[in-house]
Protein backbone atom coordinates (compact mmCIF):
# COMPACT_ATOMS: atom_id res chain seq x y z
CA UNK A 1 0.00 0.00 0.00
CA UNK A 2 1.44 3.36 -0.95
CA UNK A 3 0.19 6.91 -1.10
CA UNK A 4 -0.47 9.07 1.92
CA UNK A 5 -0.95 6.08 4.22
CA UNK A 6 2.69 5.06 3.86
CA UNK A 7 4.07 8.54 3.25
CA UNK A 8 2.73 9.80 6.57
CA UNK A 9 2.99 6.63 8.63
CA UNK A 10 4.63 7.52 11.98
CA UNK A 11 8.03 6.03 12.76
CA UNK A 12 8.06 6.91 16.47
CA UNK A 13 5.53 6.64 19.26
CA UNK A 14 5.43 10.41 19.70
CA UNK A 15 4.10 10.82 16.15
CA UNK A 16 1.13 8.49 16.66
CA UNK A 17 -2.25 10.23 16.81
CA UNK A 18 -4.58 8.76 19.43
CA UNK A 19 -4.22 5.42 21.31
CA UNK A 20 -2.50 7.22 24.21
CA UNK A 21 -2.87 4.43 26.77
CA UNK A 22 -1.53 1.78 24.38
CA UNK A 23 1.39 3.96 23.31
CA UNK A 24 2.40 4.58 26.93
CA UNK A 25 2.32 0.83 27.64
CA UNK A 26 4.50 0.09 24.60
CA UNK A 27 6.96 2.79 25.66
CA UNK A 28 7.27 1.04 29.00
CA UNK A 29 8.10 -2.26 27.26
CA UNK A 30 10.87 -0.52 25.31
CA UNK A 31 12.19 1.11 28.49
CA UNK A 32 12.39 -2.20 30.37
CA UNK A 33 14.06 -3.85 27.40
CA UNK A 34 16.72 -1.17 27.07
CA UNK A 35 17.40 -0.68 30.78
CA UNK A 36 17.10 -4.25 32.08
CA UNK A 37 17.25 -6.33 28.88
CA UNK A 38 13.82 -7.65 29.80
CA UNK A 39 12.30 -9.82 27.08
CA UNK A 40 9.33 -8.21 25.39
CA UNK A 41 6.15 -10.33 25.55
CA UNK A 42 4.13 -11.66 22.66
CA UNK A 43 1.38 -9.15 21.96
CA UNK A 44 -2.14 -9.05 20.59
CA UNK A 45 -3.27 -5.79 18.97
CA UNK A 46 -7.07 -5.71 18.90
CA UNK A 47 -9.20 -3.14 17.10
CA UNK A 48 -10.96 -2.13 13.90
CA UNK A 49 -9.08 -1.30 10.67
CA UNK A 50 -7.25 2.01 10.37
CA UNK A 51 -6.68 2.53 14.10
CA UNK A 52 -2.89 2.17 14.06
CA UNK A 53 -2.17 -1.50 14.82
CA UNK A 54 0.42 -1.94 12.06
CA UNK A 55 1.84 1.52 12.75
CA UNK A 56 2.32 0.73 16.44
CA UNK A 57 4.17 -2.50 15.57
CA UNK A 58 6.47 -0.64 13.17
CA UNK A 59 7.10 2.11 15.73
CA UNK A 60 7.99 -0.55 18.32
CA UNK A 61 10.54 -1.98 15.89
CA UNK A 62 11.95 1.53 15.29
CA UNK A 63 12.29 2.13 19.03
CA UNK A 64 13.93 -1.24 19.73
CA UNK A 65 16.25 -1.56 16.74
CA UNK A 66 16.79 1.97 15.40
CA UNK A 67 17.60 2.68 11.76
CA UNK A 68 18.17 -1.00 11.00
CA UNK A 69 14.67 -1.95 12.18
CA UNK A 70 13.64 -3.51 8.85
CA UNK A 71 16.23 -6.26 9.31
CA UNK A 72 14.48 -7.33 12.51
CA UNK A 73 10.86 -6.88 11.46
CA UNK A 74 9.01 -9.59 9.51
CA UNK A 75 5.47 -8.81 8.40
CA UNK A 76 2.84 -11.31 7.26
CA UNK A 77 -0.85 -11.14 6.49
CA UNK A 78 -3.08 -14.04 7.41
CA UNK A 79 -5.01 -13.64 4.14
CA UNK A 80 -1.79 -14.69 2.35
CA UNK A 81 -0.25 -16.98 4.99
CA UNK A 82 -3.23 -18.70 6.57
CA UNK A 83 -2.74 -22.43 6.01
CA UNK A 84 -1.13 -24.97 8.30
CA UNK A 85 1.59 -25.63 5.72
CA UNK A 86 2.42 -21.90 5.61
CA UNK A 87 2.91 -21.81 9.37
CA UNK A 88 5.06 -24.94 9.36
CA UNK A 89 7.16 -24.15 6.29
CA UNK A 90 7.59 -20.36 6.65
CA UNK A 91 6.96 -19.20 10.21
CA UNK A 92 8.41 -22.14 12.14
CA UNK A 93 11.92 -22.04 10.58
CA UNK A 94 11.97 -18.25 10.85
CA UNK A 95 11.13 -18.35 14.56
CA UNK A 96 14.30 -20.35 15.30
CA UNK A 97 16.66 -17.49 14.52
CA UNK A 98 19.41 -16.75 17.04
CA UNK A 99 18.91 -13.03 16.39
CA UNK A 100 16.01 -11.27 18.10
CA UNK A 101 13.22 -10.21 15.77
CA UNK A 102 9.59 -9.14 15.62
CA UNK A 103 7.18 -11.30 13.61
CA UNK A 104 4.06 -9.23 12.90
CA UNK A 105 0.99 -11.20 11.85
CA UNK A 106 -1.70 -8.90 10.46
CA UNK A 107 -5.33 -10.11 10.38
CA UNK A 108 -4.37 -13.08 12.53
CA UNK A 109 -8.06 -13.72 13.18
CA UNK A 110 -8.18 -14.96 9.59
CA UNK A 111 -5.92 -17.94 10.36
CA UNK A 112 -7.42 -21.40 9.98
CA UNK A 113 -7.96 -23.34 13.22
CA UNK A 114 -5.17 -25.88 12.65
CA UNK A 115 -2.82 -23.06 11.64
CA UNK A 116 -3.62 -21.30 14.93
CA UNK A 117 -2.78 -24.49 16.83
CA UNK A 118 0.57 -24.76 15.08
CA UNK A 119 1.31 -21.08 15.66
CA UNK A 120 0.56 -21.46 19.37
CA UNK A 121 3.19 -24.20 19.70
CA UNK A 122 5.75 -22.10 17.82
CA UNK A 123 5.08 -19.12 20.09
CA UNK A 124 5.61 -21.33 23.15
CA UNK A 125 9.00 -22.63 22.00
CA UNK A 126 10.62 -19.59 20.42
CA UNK A 127 13.29 -17.73 22.41
CA UNK A 128 14.22 -14.78 20.22
CA UNK A 129 11.07 -14.01 18.24
CA UNK A 130 8.51 -11.53 19.54
CA UNK A 131 5.15 -12.29 17.95
CA UNK A 132 2.70 -9.43 17.46
CA UNK A 133 -0.71 -10.55 16.23
CA UNK A 134 -3.26 -8.02 15.04
CA UNK A 135 -6.96 -8.83 14.92
CA UNK A 136 -10.24 -7.07 14.25
CA UNK A 137 -12.14 -9.77 16.17
CA UNK A 138 -10.26 -11.44 19.01
CA UNK A 139 -13.01 -14.06 19.44
CA UNK A 140 -11.86 -15.70 16.19
CA UNK A 141 -8.51 -16.46 17.84
CA UNK A 142 -8.42 -19.49 20.09
CA UNK A 143 -8.03 -18.99 23.81
CA UNK A 144 -4.62 -20.69 23.92
CA UNK A 145 -3.11 -18.05 21.61
CA UNK A 146 -4.84 -15.17 23.39
CA UNK A 147 -3.56 -16.36 26.78
CA UNK A 148 0.03 -16.21 25.52
CA UNK A 149 -0.20 -12.58 24.42
CA UNK A 150 -0.38 -9.28 26.23
CA UNK A 151 -3.50 -7.58 24.82
CA UNK A 152 -3.54 -3.98 23.56
CA UNK A 153 -6.82 -2.42 22.46
CA UNK A 154 -7.02 0.13 19.65
CA UNK A 155 -10.08 2.36 19.45
CA UNK A 156 -11.46 4.28 16.45
CA UNK A 157 -9.99 7.76 16.37
CA UNK A 158 -12.29 10.56 17.48
CA UNK A 159 -13.09 13.44 15.12
CA UNK A 160 -10.50 15.75 16.68
CA UNK A 161 -7.72 13.16 16.33
CA UNK A 162 -8.61 12.51 12.70
CA UNK A 163 -8.75 16.26 12.02
CA UNK A 164 -5.31 16.68 13.58
CA UNK A 165 -3.77 14.17 11.17
CA UNK A 166 -5.57 15.59 8.11
CA UNK A 167 -4.36 19.10 8.94
CA UNK A 168 -0.82 17.77 9.30
CA UNK A 169 -1.01 16.19 5.84
CA UNK A 170 -2.61 19.26 4.20
CA UNK A 171 0.14 21.47 5.61
CA UNK A 172 2.89 19.10 4.52
CA UNK A 173 1.43 18.78 1.01
CA UNK A 174 1.18 22.56 0.65
CA UNK A 175 -2.54 22.46 -0.11
CA UNK A 176 -4.00 25.93 -0.60
CA UNK A 177 -7.01 26.06 1.67
CA UNK A 178 -9.56 28.77 0.89
CA UNK A 179 -11.26 28.46 4.29
CA UNK A 180 -14.74 28.66 2.79
CA UNK A 181 -17.81 27.10 4.44
CA UNK A 182 -17.96 24.53 1.61
CA UNK A 183 -14.34 23.55 2.19
CA UNK A 184 -14.92 23.15 5.93
CA UNK A 185 -17.99 21.02 5.18
CA UNK A 186 -15.99 18.82 2.80
CA UNK A 187 -13.30 18.18 5.42
CA UNK A 188 -16.02 17.42 7.97
CA UNK A 189 -17.58 14.91 5.55
CA UNK A 190 -14.22 13.16 5.11
CA UNK A 191 -13.81 12.91 8.88
CA UNK A 192 -17.40 11.72 9.38
CA UNK A 193 -17.26 9.15 6.58
CA UNK A 194 -14.00 7.66 7.85
CA UNK A 195 -15.66 6.72 11.17
CA UNK A 196 -12.40 6.76 13.10
CA UNK A 197 -10.51 4.81 10.43
CA UNK A 198 -7.47 6.98 9.73
CA UNK A 199 -6.38 4.87 6.76
CA UNK A 200 -9.74 5.50 5.12
CA UNK A 201 -9.59 9.24 5.88
CA UNK A 202 -6.13 9.55 4.31
CA UNK A 203 -7.17 7.56 1.23
CA UNK A 204 -10.20 9.82 0.70
CA UNK A 205 -8.12 12.97 1.22
CA UNK A 206 -5.51 11.83 -1.28
CA UNK A 207 -8.18 11.32 -3.95
CA UNK A 208 -9.64 14.82 -3.56
CA UNK A 209 -6.45 16.88 -3.64
CA UNK A 210 -5.96 18.23 -7.15
CA UNK A 211 -2.73 18.49 -9.13
CA UNK A 212 -2.85 22.22 -8.38
CA UNK A 213 -2.71 21.46 -4.65
CA UNK A 214 -6.28 22.45 -3.90
CA UNK A 215 -9.11 20.58 -2.25
CA UNK A 216 -11.70 19.40 -4.76
CA UNK A 217 -14.67 20.27 -2.61
CA UNK A 218 -17.30 19.28 -5.17
CA UNK A 219 -16.01 15.72 -5.49
CA UNK A 220 -16.56 15.28 -1.76
CA UNK A 221 -19.96 16.93 -1.51
CA UNK A 222 -21.64 15.97 -4.78
CA UNK A 223 -21.50 12.19 -4.71
CA UNK A 224 -24.52 10.80 -2.87
CA UNK A 225 -24.43 7.00 -2.65
CA UNK A 226 -28.04 6.85 -1.48
CA UNK A 227 -29.30 7.85 -4.95
CA UNK A 228 -27.51 4.97 -6.66
CA UNK A 229 -28.30 2.52 -3.84
CA UNK A 230 -32.00 3.40 -4.12
CA UNK A 231 -31.83 2.74 -7.84
CA UNK A 232 -30.10 -0.62 -7.25
CA UNK A 233 -32.79 -1.74 -4.79
CA UNK A 234 -35.65 -0.58 -7.03
CA UNK A 235 -34.04 -2.33 -9.99
CA UNK A 236 -33.69 -5.59 -8.05
CA UNK A 237 -37.28 -5.42 -6.82
CA UNK A 238 -38.38 -4.86 -10.43
CA UNK A 239 -36.71 -8.12 -11.46
CA UNK A 240 -33.39 -7.05 -13.04
CA UNK A 241 -30.88 -8.51 -10.60
CA UNK A 242 -27.87 -8.31 -12.97
CA UNK A 243 -28.24 -4.56 -13.47
CA UNK A 244 -28.84 -4.11 -9.74
CA UNK A 245 -25.63 -6.02 -8.92
CA UNK A 246 -23.68 -3.80 -11.32
CA UNK A 247 -25.10 -0.72 -9.62
CA UNK A 248 -24.19 -1.87 -6.10
CA UNK A 249 -20.68 -2.81 -7.22
CA UNK A 250 -20.27 0.56 -8.93
CA UNK A 251 -21.35 2.57 -5.90
CA UNK A 252 -19.08 0.52 -3.61
CA UNK A 253 -16.01 1.10 -5.79
CA UNK A 254 -16.82 4.76 -6.49
CA UNK A 255 -17.13 5.35 -2.78
CA UNK A 256 -13.61 4.11 -2.09
CA UNK A 257 -14.83 0.70 -0.84
CA UNK A 258 -16.38 2.44 2.17
CA UNK A 259 -18.73 -0.32 3.27
CA UNK A 260 -20.11 1.63 6.25
CA UNK A 261 -21.26 4.47 4.02
CA UNK A 262 -22.89 1.99 1.62
CA UNK A 263 -24.64 0.24 4.53
CA UNK A 264 -26.02 3.57 5.76
CA UNK A 265 -27.35 4.30 2.27
CA UNK A 266 -28.92 0.83 2.05
CA UNK A 267 -30.71 1.35 5.34
CA UNK A 268 -32.01 4.79 4.33
CA UNK A 269 -33.18 3.43 0.96
CA UNK A 270 -34.99 0.46 2.47
CA UNK A 271 -36.74 2.76 4.98
CA UNK A 272 -38.34 4.54 1.99
CA UNK A 273 -39.93 1.38 0.54
CA UNK A 274 -43.73 1.79 0.80
CA UNK A 275 -44.56 -1.93 1.00
CA UNK A 276 -44.35 -2.64 4.74
CA UNK A 277 -43.78 -6.41 4.48
CA UNK A 278 -40.96 -6.04 1.93
CA UNK A 279 -39.49 -3.22 4.00
CA UNK A 280 -39.51 -5.29 7.19
CA UNK A 281 -37.96 -8.33 5.49
CA UNK A 282 -35.16 -6.21 4.05
CA UNK A 283 -34.51 -4.42 7.35
CA UNK A 284 -34.12 -7.83 8.99
CA UNK A 285 -31.75 -8.91 6.20
CA UNK A 286 -29.66 -5.76 6.68
CA UNK A 287 -28.90 -7.03 10.20
CA UNK A 288 -27.70 -10.33 8.71
CA UNK A 289 -25.70 -8.41 6.09
CA UNK A 290 -23.88 -6.38 8.75
CA UNK A 291 -23.05 -9.57 10.66
CA UNK A 292 -21.68 -11.29 7.53
CA UNK A 293 -19.58 -8.26 6.58
CA UNK A 294 -18.07 -8.16 10.07
CA UNK A 295 -16.64 -11.64 9.57
CA UNK A 296 -15.78 -11.33 5.88
CA UNK A 297 -12.65 -10.11 4.12
CA UNK A 298 -14.70 -9.47 0.95
CA UNK A 299 -17.55 -7.03 1.74
CA UNK A 300 -18.46 -6.62 -1.93
CA UNK A 301 -19.50 -10.30 -2.16
CA UNK A 302 -21.86 -9.78 0.77
CA UNK A 303 -23.36 -6.62 -0.78
CA UNK A 304 -24.00 -8.44 -4.06
CA UNK A 305 -25.55 -11.32 -2.10
CA UNK A 306 -27.87 -8.83 -0.39
CA UNK A 307 -29.02 -7.49 -3.78
CA UNK A 308 -29.76 -11.08 -4.86
CA UNK A 309 -31.95 -11.41 -1.77
CA UNK A 310 -33.73 -8.14 -2.62
CA UNK A 311 -34.49 -9.57 -6.08
CA UNK A 312 -36.10 -12.67 -4.46
CA UNK A 313 -38.16 -10.84 -1.83
CA UNK A 314 -41.23 -10.05 -4.00
CA UNK A 315 -41.49 -13.75 -4.87
CA UNK A 316 -41.32 -15.04 -1.28
CA UNK A 317 -44.48 -16.38 0.29
CA UNK A 318 -46.29 -13.76 2.35
pLDDT tens per residue, the chain (318 residues)?
468 999 999 999 999 999 999 999 999 999 999 999 898 999 999 998 899 999 999 999 999 999 999 999 999 886 666 678 878 888 888 888 888 999 999 989 888 888 899 999 999 988 889 999 999 888 889 999 999 999 999 999 999 999 999 999 999 999 988 888 988 988 988 898 788 899 989 988 998 888 889 888 887 776 566 678 889 999 999 999 899 999 888 888 876 667 877 888 898 889 889 989 999 999 999 988 988 887 777 888 999 999 999 999 887 765
CB 59 within 8 A of CB 87: no
CATH number at residue 286: 1.20.272.10
Domain that holds residue 95: 3-153
According to the model, what pLDDT value does residue 242 have? Answer: 92
Alpha helices in the chain (DSSP H): 3-7, 20-36, 53-65, 84-86, 92-95, 113-125, 143-147, 159-173, 181-194, 198-208, 217-221, 225-237, 241-254, 259-271, 276-294, 299-312
According to the model, what pLDDT value does residue 318 have? Answer: 57
Do 238 and 208 have their domain in common?
no
Query: Which of residues 175, 206, 221 is at a domain's end?
Result: 221
Do 183 and 212 have their domain in common?
yes
Do 216 and 246 have their domain in common?
no
Do 16 and 107 have their domain in common?
yes
Query: Which of residues 204, 221, 238 is at a domain's end?
Result: 221
Do 239 and 109 have their domain in common?
no
Do 21 and 114 have their domain in common?
yes
Secondary structure (3-state) at 153: strand
Do 142 and 45 have their domain in common?
yes
CATH number at residue 39: 3.40.50.300
CATH number at residue 211: 1.10.8
CB 60 within 8 A of CB 102: yes
According to the model, what pLDDT value does residue 297 have? Answer: 75
Number of domains in the chain: 3
Q: Exposed/middle/buried for 37, CB within 10 Å: 0-12, 13-18, 19+?
A: exposed
Do 143 and 266 have their domain in common?
no
Do 291 and 307 have their domain in common?
yes
**Beta-bridge partner residues of 74:** 103
Question: What CA–CA distance (Å, rounded) separates 70 from 19?
Answer: 24
Do 142 and 270 have their domain in common?
no
Do 68 and 177 have their domain in common?
no
Query: Which of residues 153, 181, 211 is at a domain's end?
Result: 153
Could you give phi then psi for residue 126, rounded to 5 degrees?
-70, 150
CB 133 within 8 A of CB 140: no
CB 21 within 8 A of CB 112: no
Measure the N-to-C terminal CA separation of the chain; round to a whole number of Å: 48
Do 144 and 171 have their domain in common?
no
According to the model, what pLDDT value does residue 81 have? Answer: 62
Amino acid sequence: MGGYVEKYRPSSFNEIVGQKHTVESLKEIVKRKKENNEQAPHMLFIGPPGTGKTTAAICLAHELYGKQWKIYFREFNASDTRKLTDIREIIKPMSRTIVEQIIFFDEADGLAYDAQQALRRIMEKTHNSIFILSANNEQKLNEAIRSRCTPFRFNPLDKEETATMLKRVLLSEGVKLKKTPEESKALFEIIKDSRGDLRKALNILEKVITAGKELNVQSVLEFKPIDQISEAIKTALAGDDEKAKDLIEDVYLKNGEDVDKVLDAIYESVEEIPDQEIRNRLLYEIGNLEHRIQYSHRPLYQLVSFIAFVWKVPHLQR
